[in-house]
Amino acid sequence: MSGPWWREGVFYQIYPRSFQDSNGDGIGDLLGITRRLDHLNDGSPRSLGIQAIWLSPFYRSPMKDFGYDVSDYRDVDPIFGTLDDFDHLLEEAHRRGVRVLVDLVPNHTSDQHPWFIASRSSRSDPKRDWYVWADPRNGGPPNNWRAVFGSAEKRSAWTLDPASGQYYLHHFLPEQPDLNWWNEDVRRAIDDVMRFWLDRGVDGFRIDVAHSLVKDKLLRNNPRLFAKRRPRHNWELEEVHEIHRRWRRLLDEYDDRMAVGEVSTRKLSDLVRYYGNDDELHMPFNFNFLRQPWKAERFRAVVEEWERRLPAHAWPDYTLTNHDRSRATSRYGPRNARVAALMLLTLRGTPFIYYGEEIGMTDVPIPPERIVDVDGRDPERTPMQWDATANAGFTTGRPWLPVAADAEQVNVAAQRDDPRSMFSFYRQLIALRQGSRALRSGSYRSLPAPREVFAYLREANGERYAVALNFGDAPRLVQVGGSAQVTLSTDPSHDARAVSGAIHLDPAEGAVARLA
């Protein structure tokens, strides 16, 4: 590969609780992940062929938000294993050429973190100012800021601590108090956490809620309506960029490390600011595909706007889903999900794949008595489906979330040797991308296309691929000028088809064709 690894590689997100259990407690763990690394990349076409993984949190945690409430940033929760298990995982991943990102959760800690326990202990504790404390206002919370989780009535971002008579801020659960990012000691403490993992050899971070962190010092109320140009005082403050620049400097002290930030800003015009002058995070996640209805013009608009707005130094990225969102196959249906995968893996920009997408896993309905997440996200977090044995090969115990009812058919083992399977399709797509300079790092240009079709050209050093995606249910023709050959289609019986002048697309078909 020629460019930086994080621009040219395909990323894969692992939700550790759900990937592979190794000790029969029904919860996935680090040893389990290590055991399954061959699925991700064993150097042969049998494996998926990805270049990097992002591990959702495996740190010590009371698990109120399944690891996004950290009580010790420098240790592995016993549920997931030990630091030695982590080192072993890292070594085994690196041996396979797979880079590893860990999840950094700097906006908040768990209320069980020693920092918060100290902070809460008294108004005069030296750690008091590490969190955001404020006096009541008119007998209620200090301002009108809302938390992300919770029912509408109970959503204040403030919880009263009766012992000290003050409220503390939390943008998620009350068990996830927000750190005070105005405090230099907090900044240094998180720097130390980053160094701890970088020194261990991790290749970088996925940074949780990277656009929040800093909140208005004066704790001003938010405007009542989210009208345009009435910025909120608790998200996306200008000063957050200063922190991202600090992190970039820290990362740059090491060789070849990177960070991708969770930035759920809707407008691409705002999102692009998170690249800074190539001196902030390497990439902010672009979540805009997740917000589009299944319409060619909507996806095309996202890509075109992103391409237009990105300065030359900024590299795009795309994803179809993650541990907070419905799965692609559930959102788009099985046929369209193949088209979506083809799009994800042929665009200019780093693709992020969520575990299980490569076999077309769907959201699993959770019976009321088995719901465990505070925010309805269990359906997209169910155990990985490996084979047709009990619990899909995920655990010998009782899985923490139910296994999909269709797991006997939809699993890695069943799909491995089936050339028509989603797994085969993903493997071929990744192999095609990794073997082609044009697809990995070449230029992007939209192609004129009929209604309900999104088509584009990828090109590098004279190598040219046309990609044509039919979002509709009528057959369509996409003009490509000269002759070409279909390299890969969502319908495997069309692979290797010769094209003269135009690509023929069936309903809900996507195809990549190499132009002569």
Active site residues: 208, 253
Among residues 165 and 376, whose Cβ is nearest to ligand GLC? 376
Among residues 29 and 178, whose Cβ is nearest to ligand GLC? 178
The single residue among 75, 324, 406, 463 that binds ligand GLC, judged by CB under 6 A, is 324
Among residues 49 and 57, whose Cβ is nearest to ligand GLC? 57
| Number of neighbouring beta carbons within 10 Å of residue 207 | 26
CB of 108 to ligand GLC, least distance (A): 7
Q: Is 65 in the site for ligand GLC (CB under 6 A)?
A: yes
CA distance 105 to 209: 8
Q: Is 480 in the site for ligand GLC (CB under 6 A)?
A: no
Among residues 262 and 452, whose Cβ is nearest to ligand GLC? 262
Size of the site for ligand GLC (CB under 6 A): 9
Closest CA to 442 of 7, 5, 44, 83: 7
Amino acid at 287: F
CA distance 410 to 391: 12
Among residues 262 and 506, whose Cβ is nearest to ligand GLC? 262
CB of 259 to ligand GLC, least distance (A): 15
CA distance 170 to 511: 47
26 torsion bin: left (phi>0), alpha (psi -120 to 50), beta (else)? left
Per-residue x/- marks for ligand GLC, 276-315, CB under 6 A? ----------------------------------------
CA distance 185 to 191: 10
Q: How is residue 309 annotated by DSSP?
A: H
Q: Is 68 in the site for ligand GLC (CB under 6 A)?
A: yes
Report yes or no: 498 and 512 within 8 Å, Cβ to Cβ.
no
Is 289 in a helix, a strand, or coil? helix
**Footprint (CB under 6 A) of ligand GLC, residues 112-141:** none
120, with CB counted inside 10 A (0-12, 13-18, 19+), is buried
Among residues 108 and 187, whose Cβ is nearest to ligand GLC? 108
CB of 376 to ligand GLC, least distance (A): 11
**Footprint (CB under 6 A) of ligand GLC, residues 341-400:** none
Is 504 in a helix, a strand, or coil? strand
- Strands 158-161 and 510-515, how do they pair? unpaired
Among residues 175 and 506, whose Cβ is nearest to ligand GLC? 175
Starting at the earlier edge strand, list the strands of the sheet with 166-169: 133-134, 166-169, 158-161
Among residues 68 and 423, whose Cβ is nearest to ligand GLC? 68
CB of 326 to ligand GLC, least distance (A): 14
Per-residue x/- marks for ligand GLC, 237-276, CB under 6 A? -------------------------x--------------
Closest CA to 90 of 281, 160, 356, 82: 82
CB of 439 to ligand GLC, least distance (A): 29
Q: What does 394-450 look like in DSSP terms, one character per residue?
A: S-SS--SSPPPTTTTTSSHHHHHT-TTSHHHHHHHHHHHHHT-HHHHH-EEEEE---
CB-based contacts of 214, cutoff 8 Å, min separation 6: 181, 182, 237, 239, 240, 243
Residues listed for the chain: 516
Report yes or no: 443 and 422 within 8 Å, Cβ to Cβ.
no
Q: How is residue 382 annotated by DSSP?
A: P
Report yes or no: 213 and 247 within 8 Å, Cβ to Cβ.
no
Per-residue x/- marks for ligand GLC, 170-209, CB under 6 A? --x-----------------------------------xx
CB of 232 to ligand GLC, least distance (A): 16
CB of 69 to ligand GLC, least distance (A): 7
Axis crossing angle, helix 83-95 with helix 184-200, rounded to the nearest 10: 60
Report yes or no: 194 and 244 within 8 Å, Cβ to Cβ.
no
Residue number with the smallest Cβ distance to ligand GLC: 68
Q: Is 85 in the site for ligand GLC (CB under 6 A)?
A: no
CB of 68 to ligand GLC, least distance (A): 3
- Could you list the residues that contact ligand GLC (CB under 6 A)? 65, 68, 105, 172, 208-209, 262, 323-324
